[in-house]
Amino acid sequence: MASSPSPTLISPPPDRERSKDADLQDKHALQERLDRVAEEKRLALLAAGPSWREWVYYEAIKWWLAIGLLIADSLLVVQWLVWGNYLGLGLSLAAVVYVEFLLYRYLWTRPPPPSTRRRVPFRRTWYRPVEIGRWTPEADYIRVHGRRPDSEGGPTPDEFL
């Protein structure tokens, strides 16, 4: 007859008491880390940063527009190369790059800092179509408050002359 295997007894580790203490310490350390992460999340939600609209207009569209314009420019270059007209390529590429430059300036021109700003009124030029770009924080401030951000009262340099 085959003998049935006898049940083997699993003996507890020799330092069972120490492992309980280690488990408690591990649980306590884990709870401290979880509390720290929860506090960081709470603080991050309180100071959430820019809204999605602000992030898209101020940062993200710049890159997507640049990629789209690069694709359009490459299609233009390839078409002129297929036709074999290098003069047309040069002239149209110069015109398109100038229009792209004006578009960028129209959308994202930031005013210079007050310390370097001149006191002459703004005048449009061939390279500066607007004083403040349409999708900038300053333009949003003007749309909301109806005045420039630097005209908030306080001393002006003219007061000290």
Q: What does the DSSP assignment read for 3-42? A: PPPPPPPPPPPTTHHHHHHHHHHHHHHHHHHHHHHHHHHH
Structure confidence at residue 21 (pLDDT): 77
* Interval 115-123 mean pLDDT: 79
Structure confidence at residue 158 (pLDDT): 63
Residue 16 has pLDDT above 60, yes or no: no
Structure confidence at residue 148 (pLDDT): 77
Q: Greater confidence, 148 or 159? A: 148
- Tokens found for residue 123: 């005048």
d(CA 38, CA 147): 40
Mean of all residue pLDDT scores within the chain? 84
**Which of 72, 67, 25, 53 lies closest to 140 in space, CA to CA?**
53
Structure confidence at residue 134 (pLDDT): 92
Digit-coded pLDDT (tens) for 125-152: 998 999 899 999 889 988 888 887 665 5
Structure confidence at residue 10 (pLDDT): 64
Structure confidence at residue 11 (pLDDT): 60
Digit-coded pLDDT (tens) for 70-112: 999 999 999 999 999 999 999 999 999 999 999 999 999 998 8
**Which of 87, 119, 125, 80 lies closest to 105 in space, CA to CA?**
125
Q: Which of 2-11, 18-27, 98-107 has the highest mean pLDDT?
A: 98-107
Residue 37 has pLDDT above 90, yes or no: yes
